């Protein structure tokens, strides 16, 4: 961001970063709902209470605030780091690193690792690990419940639950590849000093997230496909 009276602050980029991290929490909530819908349907009514949605909001807010705080306090662009990346940033993007608000993961400098950015990447990995572990747990549990022969649900309900779970899975893979993988690569790969040229594709991947996510919903749900085919005859 350019340095202006409004944007000359690290908090602008930190808010942007925490907004991407919030996708993980929302997807976790969706997996929890799908899991309960087939394993413990009586628990679904908790989403209609006052306290349970509020607790989910608190978890969501805590994750966003913690991600924001880590970015703000542990990934500060120091003068040394700005000077180090200034030539490359100016040549590649025409941006002067000394005149922009930046977050920089300056992991290694002066012959040793820097504690703050290393602690930040450790925190990010822990959050991502917990989030994906929860998804896998709920996903495996959902598949086991739908595959069990003693499930007291009709064939039509089972088919609908399969469709909804498949759609949720695809909608998880899309941000995983276009958002989380791209962002995680830009943070993790520099720790090991590996070549980073392929990271240039990260920005285009981020732009694909929204249209692909909407397209997945239309293509995976038969009712939506039929409605779209009526609106657009060539489909």
Mean pLDDT of the chain: 81
Model confidence over 127-177: pLDDT tens digits? 989 999 999 999 999 999 888 755 567 778 888 888 888 888 888 888 777
Report pLDDT for 2.
46
Say how far apart CA 67 and CA 14 lie, in whole Å. Answer: 8
8 A C-beta contact, residue 23 and residue 179: yes
Apex 203 CA angle, 107 and 16, nearest 5: 70
Say how far apart CA 163 and CA 222 lie, in whole Å. Answer: 9
87 pLDDT higher than 90: no
Report pLDDT for 44.
92
Model confidence over 9-59: pLDDT tens digits? 778 888 888 887 888 899 999 999 999 998 888 999 999 999 999 999 999
Total-model pTM: 0.79
Say how far apart CA 70 and CA 103 lie, in whole Å. Answer: 11
């Amino acid at each position: 961001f350019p340095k202006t009276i409004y944007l000359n602050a690290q908090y602008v980029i930190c808010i942007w970063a925490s907004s991407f991290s919030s996708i993980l929490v929302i997807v976790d909530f969706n997996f929890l709902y799908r899991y309960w819908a087939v394993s413990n349907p009586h628990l679904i009514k908790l989403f209609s209470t006052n306290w349970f949605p509020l607790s989910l909001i608190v978890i969501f807010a805590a994750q966003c605030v913690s991600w924001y705080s880590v970015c703000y306090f542990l990934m500060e662009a120091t003068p040394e780091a700005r000077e180090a990346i200034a030539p490359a940033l100016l040549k590649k993007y025409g941006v002067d690193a000394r005149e922009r608000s930046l977050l920089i993961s300056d992991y290694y400098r002066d012959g040793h690792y820097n504690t703050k950015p290393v602690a930040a990447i450790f925190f990010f990995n822990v959050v991502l690990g917990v989030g994906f572990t929860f998804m896998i747990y709920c996903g495996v549990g959902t598949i086991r419940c739908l595959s069990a022969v003693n499930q007291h649900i009709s064939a039509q309900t089972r088919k609908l639950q399969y469709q909804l779970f498949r759609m949720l899975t695809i909608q998880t893979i899309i941000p995983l590849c276009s958002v989380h993988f791209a962002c995680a690569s830009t943070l993790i790969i520099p720790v090991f000093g590996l070549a980073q040229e392929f990271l240039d594709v990260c920005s285009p991947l981020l732009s694909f997230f929204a249209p692909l996510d909407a397209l997945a919903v239309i293509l995976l749900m038969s009712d939506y496909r039929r409605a779209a085919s009526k609106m657009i005859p060539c489909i």
